[in-house]
Amino acid sequence: MIHLGIDELQVTLSDFVVTITLNRPQKLNSVTQEMSNALVEVAGWVNESAEVRSVVITGTGDRAFCAGSDIRGLDRYATPWDFRNRPDYCDAIRGIRKPVIAAVNGFAFGGGLETAMSCDIRIASTTASFAAPEIKLGWIGGGGVSAFLTQSIGQSNAALMLMTGDPIDAERALAWGLVSELTEPDALLARATEYARTIASRPPIAAETAKANLRAAVNMPQEQAITYERDLQTVCFATEDANEGRRAFAERRQGVFSRK
């Protein structure tokens, strides 16, 4: 188990599921550079650990999932170029090779929206809200928000969020396809964890390959993406887990998968 030495980021592991909790509720779980550095470390550990098969990311409390970067900490950078090259928490989350679920329990604003969008699946509380408010302060997001929103909710809806900076509520986020499901606040983490455990029960290499394949589907021309998918399928067929899956199917039992 990883030990971070930082109270603002909590990491727990149970049944192959890691839960990462942004733990700064008095500041709406906004992210400091120390928290960002810790997330980079956690992401590296998640990728290397055989004990981790899926991830849930959430925030402490009911008010906020994450309100983005702590704006007061942005003045610490000597130049815009230093800011550009800082270790970034959205990059860290996007670099996790295993499936990641966001449990959005309140405000997902700015970098918090980008954090949620960096995850593979988003489950939200009925009290959640989403915004890209950077334009109100004179800049735009830099964690992939334009690309992610356009892919998820379409160009017009993305433009509405990015150009006004105003929030949308959970119901609209669901209708637009920004999130997959809404739950009552007190059921959110359990629901996200249920999905994470389901994914963790699947053959791990196949789950990681499915994630890689989904990224290819939105970044490659269609024919190249289909060829890539077929290559990934071939890789999966060569694994011990695929052999176990076929045996388990023939024997009418649950497979026992080893990530090999």
Say if residue 182 is in the same domain as residue 209.
no
In order of 57, 83, 119, 126, 260, the CA distances from 116 in angstroms are: 8, 21, 5, 15, 30
pLDDT value at position 139? 86
Strand ranges, E, within the chain: 9-14, 17-22, 54-59, 64-66, 100-104, 107-109, 121-125, 129-131, 168-169, 181-183
pLDDT tier at 2 (50, 70, 90 boundaries)? confident
Report the 3 state secondary structure along 174-190: HHHCCCCEEECHHHHHH
Domain residues for 214?
204-250
Quick check: 97 pLDDT over 70? Answer: yes
What does the pLDDT look like over 187-196, one tens digit per residue? 999 999 999 9
Q: Find the range with the poorest average confidence among 84-93, 152-161, 245-254.
A: 84-93
We report the CATH number of the domain holding residue 222 as: 1.10.12
Say if residue 233 is in the same domain as residue 110.
no
Quick check: 76 pLDDT over 80? Answer: no
Estimate to the nearest angstrom the gap between the alpha carbon of 41 and the chain centroid: 16
Quick check: 246 pLDDT over 80? Answer: yes
Contact 113, 131 (CB under 8 A): yes
The percentage of the chain sitting over the pLDDT mark of 70, rounded to a whole number, equals: 94
Between 252 and 125, the more confident residue is 125
We report the CATH number of the domain holding residue 92 as: 3.90.226.10
pLDDT value at position 106? 96
pLDDT value at position 142? 86
Contact 65, 29 (CB under 8 A): yes
Contact 128, 105 (CB under 8 A): yes
Catalytic positions are 114, 134
The mean pLDDT of the chain is 92
Say if residue 182 is in the same domain as residue 128.
yes
- Spatial distance between the Cα atoms of 103 and 194, rounded to a whole number of angstroms: 11
Specify if 167 maps to a domain. Answer: yes
Say if residue 87 is in the same domain as residue 157.
yes
Between 87 and 19, the more confident residue is 19
Say if residue 210 is in the same domain as residue 191.
no
Q: Based on the structure, what is the number of domains in the chain?
A: 2
Q: Rounded to the nearest 10 degrees, what angle do helices 240-250 and 222-237 cross at?
A: 70
Q: Which pTM was predicted?
A: 0.92
Q: What's the mean pLDDT in 221-228?
A: 93
Contact 49, 87 (CB under 8 A): no
Quick check: 92 pLDDT over 90? Answer: yes
Structural tokens at position 106: 């309140």
Say if residue 27 is in the same domain as residue 106.
yes
What does the pLDDT look like over 128-149, one tens digit per residue? 999 999 999 898 888 899 999 9
pLDDT value at position 156? 98
Q: What's the mean pLDDT in 172-196?
A: 98
Say if residue 96 is in the same domain as residue 184.
yes
Angle, alpha carbons 27-128-125 (nearest 5°): 115
Identify the top-confidence range among 5-9, 164-168, 235-239. 164-168
Quick check: 119 pLDDT over 80? Answer: yes
Say if residue 66 is in the same domain as residue 38.
yes
Quick check: 75 pLDDT over 70? Answer: no
Structure-token match 């433009």, residue found: 159
